Amino acid sequence: MKISKQLSKILILIFFILPTQFAKAQEIKEIWSVIEKKEISENETVNNEDSTSVVNKPEGIKVKFSDENILVEQNLDSSNILLSGLFDPDDNDLKLDMWSKTDGIEIKKQLERIQSKNLSSFSERLMDVALLTNSYIPSQNFSLDEFESYTLDHLIKKKDYNLVEQFIQKNSSIKDKERLIKHVADYYLSLNKIEKSCSAIESLSMITDEYLTYYKIYCLIIQDKKNEAQLLFDLNSETDTLDNFFVQKFEVLMGYEDKNYILSDENILYFHLSHKTDKKLIYYPSVESDEFIWKYLSNSNLLKNLNNFNLSDIDQVKFLEKATSEGIFEERDLLNLYKKFQFEIDDLINYEKAYKNLPDYERRALLYQRYLLTDNIEKKLSLLSKLNSSFEDSNFSKSFDDELSKLLKKINKEEVPSKFSSFYQKNLITDANKKNKIKFNDQVFHQSKVLNYFLNKQSLPKTQKLTDNLLSKMKKDKNYSFDFKDIVLLQSLKSDGIQIGEIDELSQYNPDLNPELDKMINNNESGMILLKLVEIIGEKELDELNSRSLNFIVEIMNRTKLISLRNELLLEILPLKV
């Protein structure tokens, strides 16, 4: 028996370790082969050149020979370590040294301030650029591992799984790769796509994480590789104490036991194994249940009869709101449930007063019922705006986006008061509609064809000529007044080299940057400036920012020469889209 057990260990070692060692040996052999060829080639080149010539060396080290002495310039230092990323610096007008001149302590403080925020779409875009651009590591007080940790935190919080997979493919050597693989595997399992989870795990040449080891064992079982699953199970049981829940599920999946109905929602893998070993599983999630478990319930058809829940129970109402946000419960059905709440007539008439004393879910019911009782367009928009904000404040924004758009479509655009135009446009236009073409209007400077310059469809000389013609026409029109959007556009053109001439309104929107930002701009600390912009914009969408903030942001981008990102911003806030 002892001989058999020792033989099993030897087989395990051969199965899991030798292939890896052989691959590494081959890799080392190939590397030395390349080095030897390179050294021979360089020696031949040096021997054929005159002794006074410059010898080619690795970038950053220049050695110049002369008859009198040898001068050595060494510009390469330990900080020239490239960070993992997805974007080339040139894509967004940045450089490899975007972090080099900033103290790592200040970068960490800034990142920690940002981490607690639920960033808006443009703030998140700036964070992508800041953390996912290939660049050198900060020269002081910030290690490679620390920076990668912040990058991974951002990717996981962002929940863009395609982006995570792209990052893994492009940066296969990152130290904490297992953390991202675990995130991707859980995501696909929540969609009930275990094959894709297993595919993600197979990209790891070596697994050290206990949770991913359990994943790997389970993948081998469902791939009908039970012998390999047993070997890996035995290997890990020899070195570690395996989790009792997993051991019991393993025995059922391998056929050693007939059944096991223990349920665990500790993580999505354990929940899946609970379902896999109990086809009649009944599970009622709570508001606090993990997002992946919610998705799994939906994609596995395990949520039924939601309409029969007791709506007088606070937790069950919140349950339905979260289910709607996760796409499990229909928005229309949720609004119909709000109609069943009983309110006094006085509360509906004086809803603003009653609103203050109600819990959030009852507030939403009150606002929706009040909306149904009014015919006034401005009042309808005000109530819809408040209702939408209430969903957002409770982190249920996706519980009302489709129905909100439908309700807004019932309102004639021409009848929308100006103070609600931004709210109307933002929530009426879907992602598909946002791709529509820009509608040019040469009667308004910031909607004119000069915008083609920012779309990279028009050269600088042509833009200069068009700008001159438009400004000449508008200066002659005594009824035309340059508004804030005109000025932002003019300042950006001027920053890029367009001659503007005298316009009185330009001086009214001349932002003063604080000394800290001035210093960063002069010192070319573009990475840190991106983080400052993220903090300024924060959780607000661009159309929610006031003119002073937008002007401040555009001025920073102009002075830092972040042209591509500035153009994205301008094309979001200036043109009329149809």
Q: Tally DSSP H helices, then E strands, for the chain.
A: 27, 5
pLDDT at 304: 60
pLDDT at 307: 52
Distance CA 301, CA 240 (A): 36
Encode pLDDT of 157-188 as tens digits.
988 899 999 999 999 888 899 999 999 999 99
pLDDT at 127 over 90: yes
DSSP 355-368: HTTS-HHHHHHHHH
Contact 411, 381 (CB under 8 A): yes
Bigger pLDDT: 433 vs 146:
146
pTM, 2 dp: 0.71
Q: Give CA separation, 177 vs 98, 174, 189, 207, 209, in Å.
A: 24, 6, 18, 10, 11
Contact 462, 498 (CB under 8 A): no
pLDDT at 128: 97
pLDDT at 436: 55
**Inter-helix orientation angle 144-158/104-115, to 10°:** 20
Strand order in the sheet with 54-55: 54-55, 61-65, 70-74
Sign of CA dihedral 559, 560, 561, 565: negative
pLDDT at 43: 46
Encode pLDDT of 235-294 as tens digits.
999 888 899 999 999 999 999 998 899 999 999 999 999 999 998 888 877 767 888 998
pLDDT at 126: 97
pLDDT at 428: 78
Distance CA 291, CA 186 (A): 10
pLDDT at 357: 87
Distance CA 199, CA 424 (A): 44
Find the range with the poorest average confidence among 54-58, 218-222, 267-271, 556-560.
54-58
pLDDT at 1 over 60: no
Encode pLDDT of 351-383 as tens digits.
888 888 898 999 999 999 999 999 999 999 999
Q: Where are the alpha helices (DSSP H) in 339-459?
A: 345-349, 351-355, 360-372, 377-393, 401-409, 421-428
Cα angle 369, 373, 374 (rounded to 5 degrees) comes to 125
Mean pLDDT of the chain: 83
Residue 312: pLDDT band by 50, 70, 90 thresholds? low
Bigger pLDDT: 530 vs 80:
530
Instruction: Provide the percentage of residues in the chain whose pLDDT is more than 90.
Output: 52
Q: What is the mean pLDDT of residues 417-433?
A: 74
pLDDT at 223 over 80: yes
pLDDT at 317: 81
Residue 9: pLDDT band by 50, 70, 90 thresholds? very low
Parallel, antiparallel or unpaired: strands 438-439 and 576-577? antiparallel
pLDDT at 62 over 50: no
Q: What is the mean pLDDT of residues 385-395?
A: 90
Q: Give CA separation, 361 vs 28, 318, 338, 419, in Å.
A: 63, 7, 9, 27
Distance CA 154, CA 195 (A): 26
pLDDT at 11 over 90: no
Tally of CB atoms within 10 A around 36: 10
Residue 149's Cβ-side half-sphere holds a number of Cα atoms within 13 Å equal to 8
pLDDT at 6: 46
pLDDT at 221 over 90: yes
For residue 426, give both structure tokens: 């933002």
Q: Which residue has the tokens 């309700």?
A: 407
DSSP class of residue 552 equals H
pLDDT at 64 over 90: no
For residue 49, give both structure tokens: 């050149």
Contact 167, 84 (CB under 8 A): yes
Give the closest residue to 115 by CA, choosing from 157, 176, 145.
157
Encode pLDDT of 459-515 as tens digits.
999 999 999 999 999 988 888 988 889 999 999 999 999 998 887 777 677 778 889
pLDDT at 50 over 70: no
Find the range with the poorest average confidence among 3-17, 69-83, 398-412, 466-480.
3-17
DSSP 50-111: -TTSEEP-STTEEEEE-SS-EEEEE---TT--BPP-SB-GGGGT--TTTTTTS-HHHHHHHH
Find the range with the poorest average confidence among 10-19, 215-224, 233-242.
10-19
Residue type, 141: N
Distance CA 170, CA 405 (A): 38
For residue 365, give both structure tokens: 């019911």
pLDDT at 47 over 60: no
